[in-house]
Structure 1
Amino acid sequence: MADLPSSRLRLYKLHVFGPYLVKMEREALGIIYKLVIMFTCDADVKVPLKAVVGSSITFPNSVKEKAFILLGTTNLASVSNGAFEIYEDIYTNRLHWSSSTGLFTLSHLQQNDSGVYTIDSKKGNVLKKIYELKLYEAVSAPVVSSVNVSADSCTVQCSVKHTEQTTLSWFRGEQPVDSSTSAVLLLTVQLQDYTSQYRCVAQNPADNKAVIVNITTVCEHKETLSDTSSGSKAVYIVIPIVLTVLIIIIMAFVLYVIKKCSKKESTPLQTEVQRPISSNEKP
């Protein structure tokens, strides 16, 4: 009987504090799970990096005491007590390490530099980071020209030397108008929109170039050519008509003259009638 009150007390405490204990236990398990994921799986996460052929890339982890940089399973270089050593000759003058920032930089990038890089720091700032580097060709500047001009509109084309994953886009101000993965993209602008600012952008995941387009200027020369061409066509049409009319007039005049002359020739000549000589007159 003496133990009964204590048993009831334990049941009472469990009833009152039980939900709070369960909640705290769940939160603690969640924190432990996140910590386990952070320390066991973080090294397997590949951080994507993009760069342009010919440029440089700096890996964003500072290591200053003892660390290695690897491409795949190949050890490229190491840092130990402030000393930097390159193991692969092809990276001499291309792979750098800054003693002030502790950052690795790979310069003069080539297509075959694409791959999985690992920064493995063993001392000081201990970490292991994996980066997947993807190289892209630089995007060429887009070229814009007019292809068709009418009285109320102008069609312009934006073209670019096509490289991997290149996209062409037309913008009116900051508003996208159209885009395509082809090497040529057409845009028709109405006359009332000539004064708006347009730009054509060529881009891939690592680079982009843009050209601002003055529609009035681009279409002006074409309009002049169009007007000249129309004028020439009109001349080619009018001249034969005028010549035909002149020929008809000349022929009509010639026929009139011929007819008039023929009429004169057909009229009989008046002959003089001799009157008889009288007997009183001497011959």
Structure 2
Amino acid sequence: MRCYWKSLLFLLTGVSFMKIPTAAEEIVILSGVVGRNLTLPDPVRNSGFFKHGDSIVGRVYPGLFNFMDKNYKNKIHWNSSNGRFTLIDLQHNDSGSYTIDPKNEGTLKTYNVTVYDPALTPVIQRLNGSSSSCLLSCSVDSETNLQIIKDDQTVNETRSKSLPFYVQETDFNSTYQCVASNPAENRTENINVTVWCRKDTSDTTDNLKISILVGLVLLLFGVGVGIGVYCCKRHKRLNHAQEPPTAAQSSNGENHQEELELEPLRQPPTADQNLNHCEAH
């Protein structure tokens, strides 16, 4: 009899310390982005609790959601149509565990949420190049996961601010992409290697065209200036030739004419004059 009571006491004590689970618990990892919303996939339609960490945010019953912690009023939204909870305007301090306890409607779910900054948009730069290859770089402002994808295959990846990569001439017609990503999202930048790697050739051609154009303009300008100078000088000469003589020029001309008229004509000496001249000597 004494043994029977001891056994019964042991069973009752053991039952009192046992935790009888009411529902299976499932843990789900989710990622969010700063400034955006995140909807938890499992619904609570009629009855259940919503928790953040150890805080009970609110309760659904019967088919209505009532906040038990008013601090979450602008952070949590419950959709009565589908029974899903949405975290509004995520910030870094919203990271943590969120638990949905649907009571008799389904499985207890805990969501471990991590909030990340938005993925950065990659910037493409040309570092070096020749006729047979070129060195490009994919970069962002802060350290993140970077990938270079060629024809849908990853050819290079790292976690850094910059990822340089070579492109050979035989790959100038291939499709290249740079992807910057974090666990929440990614940003992809398409790379037109034909444009980036043949930049020197196009620049040289453009510079040559510009040089030729500038030379032609200067040549035409010089020819125009020369023609203008010639025309001005010719015009001046014509105007000078057509101008009437001044009074002083006319007076000098008349005096010169009078001198010519007054000067006697010199006649050659006669034979007698020559004879007399000889006798005198």
- TM interval, shorter chain, is 0.5 to 0.7
> Which residue number corresponds to residue 27 of structure 1?
none
Distance in 2, matches of 1:225 and 1:45, equals 61
Determine if the alignment matches structure 1 residue 210 to structure 2 residue 188: yes
Deviations 1:88-129 (A, max 9, x none): 333223311111101111110110111111101224x14321
> Which residue number corresponds to residue 91 of structure 1?
72
> Which residue number corresponds to residue 151 of structure 1?
131
Q: Out of 145, 148, 170, which is 1:170 matched to?
A: 148
Distance in 2, matches of 1:40 and 1:215, equals 60
Given that 2:145 and 2:159 are in contact with CA atoms closer than 8 Å, whether structure 1 keeps it comes out as: yes
Deviations 1:45-76 (A, max 9, x none): 42111111111111122212221111111011
**Helix, strand or coil for the counterpart of 2:160?**
coil
**Helix, strand or coil for the counterpart of 1:183?**
strand
Cα distance, 1:126–1:179 mapped onto 2, change above 3 Å: closer
Given that 2:48 and 2:102 are in contact with CA atoms closer than 8 Å, whether structure 1 keeps it comes out as: yes
Cα distance, 1:90–1:217 mapped onto 2, change above 3 Å: farther
Given that 1:53 and 1:138 are in contact with CA atoms closer than 8 Å, whether structure 2 keeps it comes out as: yes
Cα distance, 1:154–1:88 mapped onto 2, change above 3 Å: same
Q: Out of 142, 166, 176, which is 1:198 matched to?
A: 176
Distance in 2, matches of 1:94 and 1:222, equals 54
Distance in 2, matches of 1:150 and 1:73, equals 62
Q: CA deviation at 1:225?
A: 5.4
What letter corresponds to residue 184 of structure 2 in structure 1?
A
What's the TM-score, normalizing by structure 2? Answer: 0.62
Range moving further from structure 2, 215-224 or 40-49: 40-49
> Which residue number corresponds to residue 107 of structure 1?
88
What letter corresponds to residue 186 of structure 1 in structure 2?
P
What letter corresponds to residue 54 of structure 1 in structure 2?
G
Distance in 2, matches of 1:51 and 1:183, equals 22
Q: How does 1:1-283 map to 2 (within 5 A)?
A: 40=21, 43-123=24-104, 125-163=105-143, 166-224=144-202
Distance in 2, matches of 1:149 and 1:42, equals 64
Distance in 2, matches of 1:126 and 1:203, equals 34
Given that 1:118 and 1:128 are in contact with CA atoms closer than 8 Å, whether structure 2 keeps it comes out as: yes
Q: CA deviation at 1:42?
A: 6.8
Given that 1:149 and 1:226 are in contact with CA atoms closer than 8 Å, whether structure 2 keeps it comes out as: no
What letter corresponds to residue 190 of structure 1 in structure 2?
Q
Task: Give unpaired runs (5+ residues) of structure 1.
Answer: 1-38, 230-283
> Which residue number corresponds to residue 251 of structure 1?
none
Given that 1:43 and 1:130 are in contact with CA atoms closer than 8 Å, whether structure 2 keeps it comes out as: no
Distance in 2, matches of 1:139 and 1:201, equals 10
Distance in 2, matches of 1:52 and 1:152, equals 42
Distance in 2, matches of 1:128 and 1:146, equals 53
Given that 2:172 and 2:197 are in contact with CA atoms closer than 8 Å, whether structure 1 keeps it comes out as: no
RMSD: 2.5
Q: CA deviation at 1:223?
A: 4.5
Given that 2:133 and 2:197 are in contact with CA atoms closer than 8 Å, whether structure 1 keeps it comes out as: no
Task: Give unpaired runs (5+ residues) of structure 2.
Answer: 1-19, 208-281
Given that 1:52 and 1:136 are in contact with CA atoms closer than 8 Å, whether structure 2 keeps it comes out as: yes
